Chain A
């Protein structure tokens, strides 16, 4: 089971709720993925607007845990206030902490991230930091109170998969007891399987499902890939080698000439 801040989940897939063709497709994709956690956000409501309410009801009906994010925040104060407002709306101490530092790559501002994580942890939040695979930053985040780390494997929405498997492997080796979730950069089920094979505890993705030609079918594909990768990691995989090794035993082979 996946254990995050004391709560256990059967599924190791976390799913974003943005960019689906319709609310109905979103709901079907969440069910098909069998995820126990969806990410959500907050935005300005228009006067007399009820769009937030409709989405709020939809999420509630899905019966899954909610992980609000601070997407779009570029400073500590913005991220901290957004987290507090998210707690007011969604009634959860969980927060996916994003502090964006670079416009083109959406790379996190890791300095502001650590500072915001420290403030929020001190105020009782359970912080899920969107970070890089930098080991020193990860250490600082743990020092700041984070009990989960969420490194990217490639820029958000890039669909490139793990661009630095070595960095992810090093992270796994250095933080054996901290749940590690790959957040961002996954494009295909095989990418998700790959990071799970590296020993990551879970995968968080959004666009790869939401923007697929058939998001519901793709949600299921990712669920299977995440499960396959996890099983493979636990089973222990062969290391690649240069020369062939016969799989059929030679001993007892008939000699005809």
Chain B
């Protein structure tokens, strides 16, 4: 399916958010995820079903002021 991942269109054979992270090689306890503008908790990723065109944000810590 086609998704918008961090602002870029990508074709990924994933049906859940957890699968998408794994297939795109995102891993780490420090990641936060959102689907279509709503936070998806770490524990909820496996049960988070994706549909064509979903917008996914994957954020991680960085330096800030």
B-binding residues in A (CB < 8 A): 16-20, 26, 39-53, 55-56, 59, 68-69, 71, 77, 81-82, 84-86, 88-90, 156, 206-207
Q: Which among B24, B59, B63 has the highest number of chain A CB atoms within 10 Å?
A: B63
Report the separation of the CA atoms of residues A88 and B57 in the bound assembly, to the nearest whole angstrom: 13
Report the separation of the CA atoms of residues A206 and B65 in the bound assembly, to the nearest whole angstrom: 6
Contact B65 A71 (CB under 8 A): yes
Contact B28 A17 (CB under 8 A): no
Number of residue pairs spanning A and B whose beta carbons lie under 8 angstroms apart: 108
- Expressed in whole angstroms, the minimum distance between the Cβ of A131 and any Cβ of chain B is 16
Residues in A neighbouring B34, C-beta threshold 8 A: 81, 85
Residues in B neighbouring A40, C-beta threshold 8 A: 61-64
Report the separation of the CA atoms of residues A42 and B26 in the bound assembly, to the nearest whole angstrom: 15
Known A-B contacts A39-B65, A68-B64; A44 and B31 likewise in contact (beta carbons under 8 Å): no
Known A-B contacts A42-B32, A81-B37; A89 and B64 likewise in contact (beta carbons under 8 Å): no
Report the separation of the CA atoms of residues A55 and B60 in the bound assembly, to the nearest whole angstrom: 9
Contact B32 A51 (CB under 8 A): no
Report the separation of the CA atoms of residues A20 and B62 in the bound assembly, to the nearest whole angstrom: 12
10 more A-B contacts (CB under 8 A) besides A42-B60, A49-B60?
A: A26-B63, A42-B64, A43-B60, A45-B26, A45-B59, A47-B26, A52-B61, A53-B30, A56-B30, A82-B59
The residue from B33, B42, B60, B64 contacting A53, defined by CB atoms under 8 A apart: B60
Residues in B neighbouring A45, C-beta threshold 8 A: 6, 26, 31, 58-60
Contact A48 B25 (CB under 8 A): yes
Q: Which among A26, A86, A156, A207 has the highest number of chain B CB atoms within 10 Å?
A: A86
Report the separation of the CA atoms of residues A250 and B41 in the bound assembly, to the nearest whole angstrom: 75
Report the separation of the CA atoms of residues A50 and B30 in the bound assembly, to the nearest whole angstrom: 10
